[in-house]
Structure 1
Amino acid sequence: MTTRRLSLAAAGLTCTITLAACANGTSDTAGTSESGAPKKIDSTLGATFSGGKSGTKATGAPVTIGLVNQQGGAVSDPEFTVAAQAAADYINAELGGVDGHPIKFKTCYIVSSEEQGQVCAQRLLADKSISLIVQGGLNVGTQSLHRTIDGEKPVLIGQANPGPDTVAANSYATNASALASINGVGPYLKDTLKAKSVAIISGDNPGDLAIAKIFKGNVEAQGIKVTYTTFPASSTDLISPLTAAGAQKADAVVPIVVTATGCTALAKAYQQMSLTTPAIVANLCATDQIKKAFGDYPKWIYSSSTLSLQAADTTKQTDFYKAVMAAYAPKNAELEINAPYGFSAAFSAATILNKVGYGKINAKSVSAAARQYTGPVLLGSPTLDFGSVAHNPTIGSLAVRFYKYEGNGDWQASGDWINAPK
């Protein structure tokens, strides 16, 4: 529930092998962003999460990393790429890149067709300079991408979706995204909210139905009674399904809505019904669009497989993220949506490659290092354990957090990470 693309369907992509460099800066002169980014970057955190050396500029021959993302079509997430590049630029300028060598991305963008996934995979496989591929959140092209790569080169999945991402050969998902929320909501309802009854609503499209089925099973497994109702996927009136699901009397509502339109419809229904039942929603419902439309974010509980950028963070990772983005990303770059996943993935890639060492980088050595990577993941799970999640061998962690919004800018962490490997 932490990504707007929960569909199990696949489609495709158009490739490009160039990526313009983002704006550069320095840790001492980084400006402040609208999100309150600190001016100074904590280089200690940077070194911790990259495996690099603070105060070192990368030089010489680059270490090339393939990057696959979905952008340029009806569903487009360029912020993943922008944030990954900003992270790489910072790592190159101030943390010595990979063993003293700069990181260079060669990108491949999914646009609209499943066949393009195959083309992208073929290009990245044919490029002998690439020993690691970073993948963003994909709802098209995933099947053909993984089928074609077929384990020949390791794939670091920065934002996994249900389906091929969970079982692909030689693939390592550092953030389970939607899967984390799916598996974490049940325990949260039982242990934190002490819920006895829950109302679940979802659209009637195949993707939402599949997700809702898993949610329903996981919640019921906690001994909680579930009333489930669907609504037409195109509907913007959610009063009827909420009423049918018994939202007024339930202990909590779990709506499967992950688009701006769906979140807005939910907020409107809550307002019109004067509904006060706690709602557990995707963190993507905390959008500026909703805030502007309703005067503030809805007072809901937001699930997230990354640290919230709004809530206080004692680890200082969110401050670090904002500071680096303020210095190295283009002006007014998107900080939310899929940007944290791209930023985090770049740091994980650097950690893995630094562990191998520049002179020993090849597909085999990088695969072994990725398999042994245990985190911590910047902005994400504190630990990873690949192979620990039954039936999902690529998933390193199902960690998820919940944040309760109290209104007037007051975001409160509702507990710690759930389902992080011990």
Structure 2
Amino acid sequence: MRSPVSETHSRNARARIRKAGRRGAIVALVAACIVSLAACGDDSEGSSSAGTPKSLNKATGTPIKLGILNPVNGSAKSPGAPQGLNAAVKYVNGNLGGIDNHPIKVVSCDVDVASPETNIGCANQLAKSGVVAVIDAFNPTSSAALPILQSAKIPMIGPVPFDTVTGSKPDDRVYFGPAPAAFLLGAMQSIKQQGYSSVTLANLDLPSGHQTNDQILTPLGKSIGLDVKGVYYSPSNPNFSVLASTIKSTKAEVAGLLLALDEPTCNKLAQSLQNVGFKGVIFLATCTEFINKLGQKAVGAETYSSVWLPTAKSSAPAEVKKNLDVAADYLTAQGGPSDWYAFATFATVVDFAKTLGAAKPSEYTGPSVLKTLKAVEGYQSFLGPVLSCNRPTSPNCTTEFYNFKVVGNKKTELVGGKAIQPDPKGLKAIPGAN
């Protein structure tokens, strides 16, 4: 695993970003604030909750509008995403000086992530609102919004593309985490290296879920000699007892969730797997809440993440430990869940502010924002790996991620003691993965 870059490396990275800015690239920034319950509308920075850390370097310039496809409607909500957005905006605007003294102002449009129609409606509204970029917050139907945003020359940005169609091409989009295929290949490599030979993973019963299983999961498993099976669950009305029984019937050594849109899904499946007597390793995608809820019963379970998380803080690099504390303080002040969705979103916003603010643009437009982000190279991210966003075939700035095993009460450690680097040869066979 790469350690945080030295101060010299940081200065060099900032210089590269400034140089890219002088070549005509410009800053974009993504961030977020607590989202309104209205379908779509301008949101101000929002009022601070009691205990919010004191502002030290407050942005006072002209606000920059950023849009967000906010995942708060329907049955598959991700409340950690808006919490992370709001907390990060407070930190960026109050302590980092915004983006070159420009505070972030979010235009929020609420979507049901199981509904392409709501994404289309929000894309139309956001395209008319003057935003320079739109945040994709863990949305498996975000590709429905792409044609409208592309026509308006507004880039889509985010932590990880949950929609495999969105993640399959680099055009007009940038993600600071790895592609889903990188997660899958790396996780299966880890499972294989641990000595297991079979895995069953559940995914959403949506076209993107079937596409992931059929075009990515099964072929990748075969390529490394791992018996991989995929099963499905309803995003609107899941029956976890039936799902757990189906998973158990496959006799897999490792089983769980390939993708989870919210923490309750992981909690319920973990409990259901234990209730039906599943004795293998429980693998729960990007979830963290189950670790606290199950306590000692969670020991042995695994989860993956695009960023370092508080449960693994004791083994994190020194700079990451400090950044985890910063994020935790702001997230706690905003209330709500402090899960992977919250920390990943928080980190994404801070990385946007730091990398893009260094370019000091003279104007903020969708095309210049995209160009600047694509020029980012060798940047040590806030809670994760070094990022380079100039990949010609992928919108993702890294393929590296972290696979954690629960080793004690509310404590995790890196499987194998280091970050996972998926096999580049395997990734090359998958559009948008490398």
Whole-angstrom CA distance in 2 between matches of 1:363 and 1:179: 27
8 A Cα contact 2:83 2:335, kept in partner: no
Partner of 1:164: 165
* Kept in 1: contact 2:295–2:410 (CA 8 A): no
Note if contact 2:69-2:136 (Cα within 8 Å) is conserved in structure 1.
yes
Distance change (3 Å), C-alpha of 1:401 and 1:98: same
CA offset at residue 373 of structure 1? 1.8
Q: How far is 1:172 from its partner?
A: 0.5
Residues 121 and 198 (structure 1 numbering): CA distance in 2 closer, same or farther, change over 3 Å?
Answer: same
1:366 aligned to 2:391?
A: no
Is the CA contact 2:73–2:112 (under 8 Å) kept in the aligned structure 1? yes
Q: Which residue is equivalent to 1:212? A: 213
- 2:148 is equivalent to residue 145 of structure 1: no
Give the 5 Å matches for 1:10-409. 14-19=39-44, 21-23=46-48, 56-111=57-112, 113-128=115-130, 130-140=131-141, 142-150=142-150, 152-166=153-167, 167=169, 169-176=171-178, 178-190=180-192, 192-195=193-196, 197-202=197-202, 205-206=205-206, 208-213=209-214, 214-224=216-226, 226=227, 228=229, 230=231, 234-237=239-242, 240-247=245-252, 250=253, 252-253=254-255, 256=258, 258=260, 260-261=264-265, 263-270=267-274, 273=277, 275=279, 277-284=280-287, 286-288=288-290, 291-292=292-293, 296-311=297-312, 312=314, 313-317=316-320, 319-327=322-330, 330-374=333-377, 375-387=379-391, 390=393, 393-409=394-410
Deviation at 1:292, TM superposition (A): 3.8
CA distance in 2, matches of 1:111, 1:232: 17
What is the SS of the residue equivalent to 1:104?
A: strand
**How many percent of aligned residue pairs carry the same amino acid?**
16
Counterpart for residue 7 of structure 1: none
Structure 1 length as normaliser, TM-score?
0.75
**What SS is found at the alignment partner of 1:236?**
helix
Structure 2 vs 1, CA of residues 318 and 119 (structure 1 numbering), >3 Å: closer, same or farther?
A: farther
Residues 156, 345 of structure 1: 8 Å contact kept: no
Residues 169-200 of structure 1 deviation map (CA, whole Å, 9 limit, x = unaligned): 3111112364442121222233x3144x2132
Indicate how the Cα distance of structure 1 residues 232 and 372 shifts in structure 2: closer, same or farther if over 3 A, else same: closer
Is the 1:146–1:164 contact (alpha carbons within 8 Å) kept by the matching residues of 2? Answer: no
Structure 1: gaps (5+ residues): 1-12, 31-40, 42-54
Q: Distance in 1 between matches of 2:157 and 2:243?
A: 38
- Write the deviation string for residues 315-365 of structure 1: whole angstroms up to 9, x where unpaired: 443542443442476453321141122212211321343133142333332
**CA spacing shift, 1:236–1:319, aligned 2, 3 Å:** farther
Q: Contact 1:308 / 1:403 at 8 angstroms: preserved in 2?
A: no
In structure 1, the partner of 2:10 is none
> Structure 1 residues 272, 126: CA separation in 2 closer, same or farther (over 3 Å shift)?
closer
TM-score, length of structure 2 as denominator length = 0.73
Partner Cα distance (1:89, 1:229) in 2: 40
Q: Note closer, same or farther for the CA distance 1:100–1:24 as it changes in structure 2 (3 Å cut).
A: farther
1:409 & 1:126 partners in 2: Cα distance? 45
Residue 368 of structure 1 deviates from its aligned partner by 1.1
How big is each residue's C-alpha offset from its partner over 1:68-116, in whole Å with a ceiling of 9 and x where there is no partner?
2211332222431232222122222222211122222222221374333
CA contact (8 A) 2:256 2:283 kept: yes
Once the two structures are superposed, what CA deviation does each residue of 1:113-147 show, in whole Å capped at 9, x if it has no partner?
A: 4333233223332334x32332211134x233111
Shift of 1:221: 0.8
Tell whether the 8 Å contact from 1:134 to 1:156 is kept in structure 2 after alignment: yes
Q: 1:61 to 1:218 in 2, by over 3 A?
A: same
243 and 70 in structure 1: CA distance in 2 versus 1, 3 angstrom threshold: closer
The alignment of Structure 1 onto Structure 2 pairs a total of residues equal to 372
Give the aligned partner of residue 419 of structure 1: 421
In 2, are the aligned partners of 1:383 and 1:397 still within 8 Å (CA)? yes
User: Secondary structure in 2 aligned to 1:108?
Assistant: strand
Counterpart Cα distance in 2 of 1:229 and 1:204: 10
